[in-house]
Structure formats: structure tokens, C-alpha cells
Chain A
Amino acid sequence: MECFIHASCGSTSGSVAMFCLVSRLFTPPFLTAASMVVSSRSYADFTPEATFDIKKVDLHRLEEGPPLTATLTREEGLKYYRTMQTIRRMELKADQLYKQKIIRGFCHLYDGQEACAVGIEGGITLSDHLITAYRAHGYTLTRGGTVREIMAELTGRRGGIAKGKGGSMHMYTKNFYGGNGIVGAQVPLGAGVALACKYLGNDQLCVSLYGDGAANQGQIFETYNMSSLWKLPIIFICENNQYGMGTSVERSSASTEYYKRGDYIPGLRVDGMDVLCVREATKFAADHCRSGKGPILMELQTYRYHGHSMSDPGVSYRTREEIQEVRSKSDPISMLKDRMLSNNMASIEELKEIDIAVRKEIEDAAQFATTDPEPPLDDLCSHIFATDQPFDVRGATPWTKLTSTS
């Protein structure tokens, strides 16, 4: 029996030690030396918790903002690191598969913005609701999807999260409403979900995300009005990655202070590359909503490394130097890694092992996504209507007969 001390990353209690002790007692003597695999440092050497200074948040119509320090435990740190690394690797794998034409259609990649998804999830719970636009792979993962399901959905196979019928922009999990193709349309939908939370009185809230390009949409302002009027528990989050497709914020918006665009709605401008900053701001915003004060708006200043979508090289409207500079100075994963290493919260080997495990997970998922069969032809017409009797669907010609089932 082997004893994996280093793999139980989440344990800070003596359970690991107990497990090792017990396994030593029951391991046959001739196996003891060969089968014990230990890391160079045991868990007791690591700092269980540390407090970090985070950037001050710009406020609009608020007296106080989120705190200037954030506490991170070792488990949380490793969890955030693993999730962000998974999103990064998954997006890079999707890039690779797209170039091999295994993934087709729309594919909008999220690498560079991982701190937003992971930080927001750190500030809310899985019983809260979230809705976003088309750059949704990261959120599908943080909201309960698995890498296998996401990649199989991208390749359009039956093992996908929407059985291969939704694709990149239509992934749904419990309390996660996609994945929406029309720019800005998801914001009123999010307010509707918040209305349902208030109607049902369940103390949940809805996070409704949009980008800097969508921030100029009229329906978003209509939504600000109604959610403020009816005091809906909604957090509006503008993920400002500086470019709406190929148009920089200076060229698209008369006012680039997106956190002030809500006017009568309080706003925060947050460093979106720092997962702790995002987490603290989200917690603050969630408290604001849950106390019945109504909506709040957050602008996360972040950056995407890839172009708008796979058809965009991403360098015609910005320079490679700019992308390189952000990568070297503000990469969210590197920032968290440096913090944990410099505060002795994890070892380099441990983080490398997480990297290896993540790579393996992504490889397995890609393998599954490539080999899983496509949905059967019978599925073409199913799910047109819910809870209906099967009915005939008109095909491309009058004599084509197709049947729909719910």
C-alpha cells in the first residue's frame, strides 16, 4: 500500500499523518521502503494562512469599499491555482483543437481572464445564479461543469454538457444560464433571474456579466433602471478586457469609466487580474445585494491574450509587445503562484504536480472529446418543445418526415 502524503493538498489536520501511521502499521514489511512516496517537505512546513495587501478599489456612490487586505488559506490557494490552471490549459487545448479543425464554429477563449471567473465564484456560492455572454467556458467550469463535458460540447459530441447541440456559446449547468450569443441580451435575462430570487424570497442573488463592448447596449441601461427601481438582488459585472472585438474602449465609448455608467447604481472598479481583489470585491457586492440595498455594478479590469475569437489573430488592433507586457507583469496565475511561494504556502514541486495533473486531465478530456460519437440523427429534432407529445416536424422538402420528442 502506498502512502501519498504530498497528494492530499487540502488537508491541514493530522489526518494525513494518521493515514501514514495506519498504513505503516498495515503495510507488509517487504513493501515498506519501496512503496513509500513522500515529498521533500511535509505538510507541517507550509503556512496555513496568509494575509495579502490588495489594490484599492475605485468607488462610485459608495462611502466604503471592500477591505484593503485579503486572507488566503493554503487550501483556497491551491484550489484557485488548480482551477485557473485548468481554465488556462483547457482554453489552450481548445485553440489547438480548433486549428486542427476538430472544433468548428464559434470559439471565444478566456485565457488571461481566469482570475475573474475564479474570484467571482470565490465570492458567491453555487446556490447563487450567474449568467454571462459567449466567452463562457471558464464560467461553465467554475459553475459545476467538468472539463470532459465542456470539451465534448466544443467538439459537438453526445457526451457534451448540452449533448452536442449547444456548442461553445450555449453551455448550461444548475444556476448557470449560459452562454448567450446576442451581445448584451444576457443582462436583462440576469435581472429576470434576480427578480425570481426576490419573488421566491430565497436570499439568492444573480451575477450578470457583460463586456466593455456590450456596456453601450441600450437594454443594459433599461435593466439598470428596472433593477434599481425594484431593488433586485443583482450584481452587474463589466469584464473590461480593453477591446470589444477589434475596437478599443477609447474608440467605442465616450465614457470608459464603466463602473460609473450605472449612474444611480453604486459602482466599484476592481483589478481583474488579481483573484483576491476580485473575490473581496464580489463578497462586498454580494453583501450589498443580500442586505436588500438593490443592484451594484463592478468593473473588472482584465485582459485577454487571444483575439476576440478563433478567427481573430488578435494583433491587428494591438501590439504583440502589449500582450507580452501584460503576460509578464500581470498574469493572474503567476501572481497567485508568486504569492503562495513567497509566503511558503506551497512548494514548487507541489505546484508542478498540480500542473502535471491538470495537463493529464485536459489530455484525457481532449481524447474523449475527439473520440466520442456525434449525437444521433434522431436528436436533430428533439427538444423543440418541452413536455409535449412527439410530433412530426417539417423537413427541408415536403416529403421529408422527421419526428420531435421532448
Chain B
Amino acid sequence: MLHRRDGSRFPPDVTLGIQAKEFNLGFIRPDNLVSHGLRVFRCLLANSKWASSVSLFQVNVQDALNQAMDEELERDERVFLLGEEVAQYDGAYKVSRGLWKKYGDKRIIDTPVTEMGFAGIAVGAAFAGLRPICEFMTWNFSMQAIDQVINSAKTYYMSAGGQPVPIVFRGPNGSSAGKLTNIYCFAAWYGHCPGLKVVSPWNSEDARGLLKAAIRDDNPVVFKANELMYGVPFDLSEEVMHKRLCRTYRKGAHITLVSHSRCVGFCLDAAAVLAKEGVECEVTRVCELATFQLQVKQWRRRGWLLFLWATNKLCYFLIFFLHFICTYISVSVSYDQKELLDIRTATTHLKLG
């Protein structure tokens, strides 16, 4: 979404005007080709069918996350936020804008660039009864701290219920525009950790509701948003808590498209295109990846199942995870003797990171 320098947004008609200007070829030079592409892309996003029509309650994902954190910080004294640039910089992606001015140094803490250290400090604070939100600038940097994230999940089990760890690890995940590195999606990596709840919302309502639920949850939660969705506005309802694990955005009878995070948008677009050819698709968003609640009854009605996942195609974990899901579905559906063909799509097997 286009922003003025003071943080307010252009109204849609001005956006369209700028969009028209962006297509003026004289404006494009070799050095601004990428940023130009990004601007056009964002204009298209803002005016696509994903973005709802102008209404009083239109909020983009970034602001929805901001609101969720603000409300939870106000509600519970034990909640605090720590991470790189979350305080005085207003967040690397402006998700924590205004929070430091409102809550101060005690509750919004800027950390040095030491992921393993501050992730461990956040987990330790959770041991001692606080409810931290630990922000990674992107989930790629969480690799530095992955031991602290994964081992936070085992403590409740190993202490036989004596030591809960009410922590939320938050950050942008997955692809970004024009970048060749720091764009990997870690959903499958963390999704395989027992004891860790991994959530990956798509629109503003999901983002806000799930973040609030994650902060109130007494378990370690890994919350992955997508940076490209931050600027996209959606209608936001008054619903506060949103704990549904799978959510269906479009009903259809012929094929089920299952995805998470930004890829849900691609699925909806594909469904719209297919609808013109008479193929009705059901688009489902998986929110919690670890405890994957399979709506087998629903999927039994159709013979096609497509997973759209934005990770490396030959990622071992992904193969295992999807293979398990497909096997599970195959086994369940075989009772009804339906022929099931499942297709997995993902990014090309080029590189990680």
C-alpha cells in the first residue's frame, strides 16, 4: 500500500492515478527497475480482488498485528516485546510502530544483533512467569537461535507439566519482493517440532485474531506472517479471538486447494480463473501447521487435492510432512474407494536462505 511520508495512506483514486503514471515508460530506468516493479505490484495488489472495497474498517496486515500487540500489552502487564529495532525504529517492518512511545523501555526492548542470546533470554523470561513476544527480523535469522526455539517446546513435556513456556516467536517468513536471499519459508522446519504451535495467517483478521490467541496461549507459538502481505488492506471484523485451525475462503466441489500464508491469495486467484472454465475449487487455509486437523470428510467428496507450499521442493521435512498428509488422506479415503490424486507444488529446487 502506498504511504505518505507521515504514515497516512493515499486514497484509492490517487493510487490509481499513480498506477497509471507508473506505466509511463519514460519513468523506468535500469537502476529503478526493481523498485518500479515493486510499486506496480503493490498497486495491483491494492486494487485486486483480494483487497476489499473501501470501508471504514479496512486495515492492512501490518496494522492488524500492531493492534493485536497493543491490545495484549495493555491487557496483561506480563506481556512485553523484544527484538531487533522493535522500539525506537518502530519495527524493521513497522509492525511495532508507536508501541515504544506508548509503553516505554521496560516493555518494548531493543536488543543487540544477537539472536541466540535474546531468544534464550526471552525463553528464560517465559520460564519465570512473563509472557514475552520475541521478534526475529525475518525467520531466516532465527536459524541463529533455532536451538532456543526448539528446546523451549520440550520443557513442558520434560518437566511433566511443571514448567510451562508461554512465549510467542514472531516475524516475517517466506518470499519477499526482488530479493535473492533471506526469503526462505520455515513453516515446514518448525512445523515438525512437537510441542511447538506453528501458525501462518493470511489476511488481517487471521493475523490479528491469531496473534492475540498466540499471546494468550500458555505454550510456545511460532507466528509467521508474510512481509508482502503487510501492506495489503482487508476488512477487519470485531471478532477478537480466532482459533479455527483450518479456514475455508471459497467453497467448491471439484478440487481442494490447501495452502498457508501468502499462497492462499494465489489459490484464490487460481480458483477465480478456473471458475470461468467451470471448475469449482475449494480454497482452504491451514493455520496451525503442527497439529494439522484434516477435514477428511470434506475432502472425501472430491478426488483432487493440491498443496501449494512456498518452500524448497525437495526439502526433506516437507516431503515427509506432505507424504504423511497424503498417505493419511489416501488411507482414509480408500475406505470409500475413491481414487485420489494429490499434487504438491513448491518453489524450484535452487538454494536455501
A residues with a Cβ closer than 8 A to B are 129, 131, 162-167, 170, 172, 177-178, 180-182, 185, 187-197, 199-200, 206, 218-219, 222-223, 225-226, 229-230, 379, 382-388, 391, 394, 398-399, 406
The interface stretch among B39-47, B91-99, B106-114 is: B106-114
Closest Cβ of chain B to A395, distance in Å, is 12
Extra contacts, 20 of them, besides A191-B120, A223-B117 (Cβ < 8 A), are: A166-B158, A172-B162, A172-B163, A178-B163, A181-B151, A185-B151, A191-B124, A192-B127, A192-B128, A193-B125, A196-B128, A196-B129, A200-B129, A222-B112, A383-B157, A383-B159, A384-B195, A386-B161, A388-B219, A399-B331
Query: Is B161 a contact of A383 with CB atoms below 8 Å?
Result: yes
Contact of A188 among B130, B148, B166 (CB under 8 A): B148
Cβ contacts under 8 Å, A386 to chain B: 156, 161, 164, 166, 218-219
What CA separation (Å) do A224 and B114 show in the bound complex? 11
Q: How far is the CB of B143 from chain A (nearest CB, A)?
A: 14
Task: Indicate if B255 sits at the interface (CB-CB under 8 A).
Answer: no
B244 to chain A, nearest CB (A): 14
* 9 contacts across the A-B interface (CB closer than 8 A): A192-B126, A195-B121, A218-B116, A219-B116, A222-B116, A226-B117, A385-B197, A386-B161, A386-B164
CB-contact partner of A177 in B127, B132, B151, under 8 A: B127
- Assess the A385–B123 pair: CB atoms within 8 A: no
Residue ID in chain A nearest B132 by CB atoms: A192
Q: Known interface pairs A182-B147, A391-B291. Does A191 touch B121 (Cβ–Cβ under 8 Å)?
A: yes
Decide if B124 touches A219 in the complex (CB within 8 Å). Answer: no
The CB with the most chain A CB atoms within 10 A, among B118, B128, B164, is that of: B128
CB neighbours of B147 from chain A (8 A) = 182, 185
Q: How far is the CB of A221 from chain B (nearest CB, A)?
A: 8
Range of interface residues on B (Cβ < 8 Å):
35 or more
Residue positions of B touching A, CB distance < 8 A: 80, 106, 109, 111-112, 114, 116-130, 132, 147-148, 151, 155-164, 166, 194-195, 197, 218-219, 291, 324, 327-328, 331
Question: In the complex the two chains form, is A192's CB within 8 Å of B327's CB?
Answer: no
Decide: A172 and B159 in contact? CB cutoff 8 A.
yes
How many A-B pairs fall under 8 Å by CB?
Answer: 148
Which chain A residues lie closer than 8 Å to B164 at the CB level?
Answer: 386-387
A167 to B218, CA, bound (A): 24
Chain A contacts of B130 at CB under 8 A?
Answer: 195-196, 199-200
A43 to B219, CA, bound (A): 54
- A206–B125 alpha-carbon span in the complex (Å): 11
Q: Which of the residues B106, B158, B219 comes within 8 Å of A170, measured between beta carbons? A: B158
Please name all residues of chain B whose beta carbon is closer than 8 Å to the beta carbon of A131 when the two chains form the complex.
Answer: 124
Closest to A204 in B: B128
Contact B159 A385 (CB under 8 A): no
- Is the Cβ of A222 less than 8 Å from the Cβ of B114? yes
Instruction: Give the chain B neighbours of A182 by CB distance below 8 A.
Output: 147, 151
> Shortest 9 CB-CB distances between A and B: which pairs?
A192-B124, A188-B120, A222-B117, A196-B128, A189-B124, A163-B160, A222-B114, A170-B158, A192-B121
Q: Look across to chain B and name the residue whose beta carbon is closest to the beta carbon of A388.
A: B219
Tell me which residues across on chain B come within 8 A of A187, comparing CB atoms.
120
A398:B327 contact, CB within 8 angstroms? yes
Contact A196 B124 (CB under 8 A): yes
Closest A residue, CB atoms, query B120: A188
Contact A192 B122 (CB under 8 A): yes
Residues of B within 8 A of A195 (CB): 121, 124-125, 128, 130
Rounded to whole Å, the gap between the CB of B219 and the closest CB of chain A is: 5
Q: Are A166's CB and B160's CB within 8 A?
A: yes
> How far apart are the CA atoms of A170 and B111 in the complex, in Å?
29
Look across to chain B and name the residue whose beta carbon is closest to the beta carbon of A383: B161
> What residues on B are CB-neighbors of A383 within 8 Å?
156-157, 159-161
Cβ-defined contact, A199 with B125, below 8 A? yes
Given contacts A162-B160, A189-B123, contact A197 B128 (CB under 8 A): yes
CB-defined contacts of A185 to chain B, threshold 8 Å = 120, 147-148, 151
- CA distance in complex: A185, B116 (Å): 9
Q: Which residues of B contact A197 (CB under 8 A)?
A: 128
Report whether A398 and B158 are in contact in the complex, using a CB–CB cutoff of 8 Å. no
Q: What residues of A have a CB within 8 angstroms of the CB of B109 in the complex?
A: 230
Indicate the member of A129, A167, A195 with the most B CB atoms within 10 Å. A195
Contact at B117–A177, with CB atoms within 8 Å?
Answer: no
- In the complex, are the beta carbons of B117 and A188 less than 8 A apart? yes
Give A172 to B128 CA distance when docked, in angstroms: 13
Most chain B CB neighbours (cut-off 10 Å) among A193, A194, A379: A193
Decide if B119 touches A188 in the complex (CB within 8 Å). Answer: yes
